[in-house]
Structure 1
Amino acid sequence: MPHSTPTNDPVIAPWYKQPWLWFLLAPLFAVFIYGTSYAYLSVVTFDGMVKGDYAKTAKHFNQDSSRLDKAAAMDMQATISLDILTGDLRLLVTSSPTVTSSTLLLDVVHPTMASLDQPITLALRPDGSYYGSLNKTIDGKRYLHLTGPENSWRLSSEIHTPWPDHFSITAN
């Protein structure tokens, strides 16, 4: 019968030095770290509300299209010319009856981040067109909302950069 001596017994390492244990615990630690960091970021970086004509009623959303319908009834259309280098906008509005407001408001709205929205006041020029300037450069998808000073009508469009030199917004 073989006799076992301390030199023949394998040395067993403590539990925290076992590789199979760390192989099992590493994903759990990673999930905990990523989960807490994402939870922290979701609380700290609030993106704000998405802009639109929505009202929450009971458990569904209703979109108010009365201003779009009024623009369609006026057969309204706007053509925008953009100087990409300077950010200057020139807008021509055609409608029946003719729009004679001294200013119009063009909202350049980012789909998800309210901090990237740009409200642009367009001033009427003697030639009948409206002029304004972008505050900062724009890239990516944007929604354009053109309204009058009394906010009774609205034209909306969606555009992606790079913007063309000329584009139209219609009441559809």
Structure 2
Amino acid sequence: MRSNAAEPAETTPWYRQFWPWFLIAPPAVAVVGGLATLWLALSSPNPLVVDDYSRIARAIEKRLERDQAAAALGLRAEIRIVAAAGLVQVHLYPETVQPEALELRLSHPLIEERDRVLPLTRVPDGWSAELEPPEGRWYVQLYPGDRVWRLSGELTGSRSLVLVPPAYADPP
């Protein structure tokens, strides 16, 4: 009679055991996650990253020049939104400054598609344009047709706004 102790125990193949799969799973998941992250990064680049810093610097400098030109002229504008009539009224001071054309730009802080540029029409008591009353927060810019100067401010839920040039410190 033979003893069963001398016979080798039956072993199952490695791919049918728990521990190899337990050790293979984390690196495999990491590789799949890395490839998914790489695909997301390459398929949807971030539009907020800017490459041309000198162009931005020139635009900021130009904006400062426009603000300084408005300050040199002593400009001030009062903007009033008449919701019932669907109008925006603009009064520009001093009254000696009367440009040929005047534009009002309303910029939404988050959604570019909501931005509006309104050409203003001269009326006896200032300037006016049709405007559906905006809700929420808006950036406002007022500038002439030749864009030599600009007044800017922020409209936050109210129906009136006074635009004045910002005060900049003179460079040393």
TM-score by length of 1: 0.68
What is the CA-CA distance between 1:144 and the residue it aligns to? 2.0
Higher mean displacement: 102-111 or 64-73: 102-111
TM-score by length of 2: 0.68
AA partner of residue 160 (structure 2): H
| Pair 1:117-2:111 in alignment | no
AA partner of residue 143 (structure 2): T
Structure with greater Cα Rg = 2
| Pair 1:13-2:15 in alignment | yes
Gaps of 5+ in 1: 50-54
What SS does structure 2 have at the residue aligned with 1:39?
helix
Count of equivalent residues? 157
What is the CA-CA distance between 1:154 and the residue it aligns to? 1.0
Q: How does 1:94-105 map to 2 (within 5 A)?
A: 94-95=93-94, 98-101=96-99, 103-105=101-103
Q: How does 1:1-172 map to 2 (within 5 A)?
A: 2-7=5-10, 9-13=11-15, 18-42=21-45, 56=54, 61-62=57-58, 63-64=61-62, 65-83=64-82, 88-95=87-94, 98-101=96-99, 103-110=101-108, 114-126=112-124, 128-134=125-131, 139-140=136-137, 142-159=138-155, 161=156, 163-172=157-166
Higher helix share: 2
* Structure 1 consecutive aligned stretches of length 4 or more whose deviation exceeds 6 Å: none
Higher strand share: 1
Gaps of 5+ in 2: 167-172
Aligned-residue RMSD, C-alpha: 3.7
- When residues 29 and 85 of structure 1 are mapped into structure 2, their CA distance, relative to the original with a 3 A threshold, is farther
Identity among equivalent pairs (%):
16
